[in-house]
Structure 1
Amino acid sequence: MRESGEETGESAFPALMPLTLLHRIAHHPLPLVLTSDPDIQAILPLIHAGHVKAAMQVTLDPWGGGPQPGIVVTELTAAGRAALERLAREGE
């Protein structure tokens, strides 16, 4: 599993818009664990739109901290892939 945010040593991401996060999800291996507040705020509209399948879980901090809430993204759906394709066409 991959974790997001500075606490894991990955580069820090600015506050993400949902479609930016959708693009990031499409290019990372799943499951992807999101723990930062901006990521969690950005994923909620994607879940409600049916673009991803995800569940809230208690995750363990890989650096030895205690349990923390996280959202585990398990699937980029057909609707999510279609949204990315539409964005790519609009960007041309």
Structure 2
Amino acid sequence: MPITLLHRLAEQDLPVAVNQGSDVDAVRVLSLAGHVKATIPKPVRTLDGYDQPPATVMAITSLGLSMIKRFPRR
């Protein structure tokens, strides 16, 4: 879930590389919503389908920080 990832990112020193496919998708959602600044490479086609290179989160925006305050971790 993107808000859970946003909380995890707030606890780490940025920039952070995000490797897991579902987390890369969550970073994509957070980036589109304006909550983080990130670079997300396009998937690379392989013989078995697609491989997603890691996304790099550079910063949490002020909007992202307000979302963390508005929706605290349970």
Q: Give the alignment's TM-score, normalised by structure 1.
A: 0.64
Bigger RCO (CA 8 Å, 6+ sep): 2
Q: Aligned-pair distance for 1:41? A: 1.4
Q: CA RMSD in A?
A: 1.8
- The structure 1 segments of at least 4 consecutive aligned residues displaced by more than 3 Å after TM superposition are none
Q: Aligned-pair distance for 1:70? A: 1.1
Question: How many residue pairs get matched?
Answer: 64
1:1-92 aligned within 5 A: 17-57=1-41, 69-88=53-72
Percent identity of the aligned residues?
Answer: 39
Give unpaired runs (5+ residues) of structure 1: 1-16, 58-67
Q: Give the alignment's TM-score, normalised by structure 2.
A: 0.78
Q: Aligned-pair distance for 1:56? A: 2.4
